Amino acid sequence: MARPERRTHPGRHPDRFHGPRRLNDAGKGGPGGLEYRSRAGTRITYRARQRGVDATTWLHLALCLPAFLLSLAVVAGASLLGEAWLGVPAWLPATLWLVSGVLVFHRPTESFLARHLLRLHRPLPHEQALLGPLWHEVTARAGVDGSRYDLWIEDSSDLNAFAAAGHLVGVTRHALDHLPDAQLAAVLAHELGHHAGGHPWAGLLGQWYALPGRTLWRVAVRLAPRLRRSLSSTTAWVLTAGACWLAYTTLAASYGLPLLLLGLPWLTAAVGRRAELRADAHAAGLGFAPVLADLLEQSIAEEDGRSDRARRTGRFPAVSRLLSHHPDHRTRLHHLRKYL
């Protein structure tokens, strides 16, 4: 569950939750208190299979295939140029790029990205004293070895949490200071659900392997106006006509299949929304459905209290919702009803 209005980093699944300030005595025993089932010293049974790959992950990877093929063509072309100009074997850069995806699960590389790309830091002692027991409780309920994941803190004023790469779980400092224990544990359970389904690493792989193609496209978009200005009107018209003829020929030869690429953003967004609902279901299965429902009801009440202009996400809010990778709060609450 993420914040669609804010730019996010590759592979992150951020979440926005709004809740009351932390209760006295760390929120225990009150309306937002957490009922601990697995305290320190309790025997925990771990699942034989700690994580998997759910249907949304497979669908996301399938939708990334066209971008991957385009990037592969770009890398292959650059490798051939490197061989012609620099004498570097063409297979070497392409092979290194293909196998670079394994770094998604390399813990030192993840730590480097967390510190220098995502701008996160390890929990300080007092932060670890709060997060540690909550994470232990969540992972114990799931039968997962919590030490396989790394907890991180983001210095942000948003009430947010996120799952990233293969082992990163983070919360914002504001969420740490303002969410009661039960709500913070529910948020962590949701992020664990993303990792259990393979959503973060699939998102990061998709963005990484699409990077060469996207980079070439952005360069072409920037250079296009300069190229048009440097060409005469006749030459520009000839090139435009040639491009149109090539596009028509390609569509006719492929029975219009390339037009399906226009639907990729919509399909990818739909798969992202389904992944968020699956992460909610994972947290609900660990006993956090009432807490999540309470969070969503608070968020709905807060949104309803805003003006229509403040709530509007753009000129076409319906289109924005369809292109959002995160379902609205009412949809999430509807899917949680069966767990209450």
How much is the pLDDT for 7?
Answer: 34
pTM of the predicted structure, to 2 decimals: 0.82
Please state, in angstroms and as integers, the Cα–Cα distance from residue 278 to each residue in 183, 293, 295, 315, following that order: 18, 15, 17, 30
- Phi, psi (rounded to 5 degrees) for 177: -85, -25
Q: What is the pLDDT of residue 158?
A: 85
Amino acid at 240: T
The closest alpha carbon to 139, from 183, 57, 196, 201, belongs to: 196
Distance CA 166, CA 178 (A): 27
Q: Which residues of 19-29 are buried (b: 16+ CB within 10 A; e: fewer)?
A: beebbeebbee
- Rounded CA gap, 256 and 249, in Å? 10
Q: What is the mean pLDDT of each run of 10 residues along the chain (340 residues)?
A: 38 48 39 72 82 93 92 91 86 91 90 92 93 94 93 90 92 91 94 95 93 90 80 77 79 71 89 95 94 90 65 62 88 92
Structure confidence at residue 13 (pLDDT):
54
The answer to whether the CB of 261 falls within 8 A of the CB of 67 is no
